[in-house]
Structure formats: C-alpha cells, structure tokens
Amino acid sequence: MEKNSSFEEQKLSTREWRIGDLVKISSHDWDATPYNHGLGVVVSVEQGRLHKQMDLFPMVSVYNFNTHQVDKLYSYNVEIVSPRQ
C-alpha cells in the first residue's frame, strides 16, 4: 500500500497571538452561517492554565472597533489581518 506523501509532508503552522495584532472577528451560527463582526485589535492573550498545559483553543481578548467593547474570543473566531510589527 502506498503512503500518502502529500499528507505526511504537511506541517502544522502555528503562531503566538501578540498584543496589537489587527484581526478580523467572525463567528458561525448553529447552521454554519458565517457572520463577520468587523475588525479588532488583540489587547490580551490568556496564557497557560494549571500544570502549564497548552489549551486546544486558546482565548484572546479583542477590542472590537464596531461595538467599542473588549470581547473574549476563542482563537478560531479571529483571523490575522495584519500582525503587530
């Protein structure tokens, strides 16, 4: 049986969230309808919890430019538009 070489060559790419990153905020309804909630900027990143375990879905606090509020969001609800320099 042949190995699926294209699958094995793929590497997971991750990046640490940094305060000051410009992000697009989005979410999905129960029927997978996507909603765009505008842009925001990362104001804090929740660091490791007990026993220094890595969270599968880390949380970031984002200042939402549309609502003028800080929202605590899972990382899958934000997408980097422009990283902090």
Domains and CATH numbers, the chain: 15-82 (2.30.30)
> What is this structure's pTM?
0.69
Mean pLDDT of the chain: 77
Q: What digits encode the pLDDT tens for the residues 36-47?
A: 788 999 999 876
Give the pLDDT of residue 48.
58
**Residue 64 token pair:** 């939402």
Q: For 8-12, 17-21, 31-35, which range has the lowest pLDDT when averaged over its residues?
A: 8-12
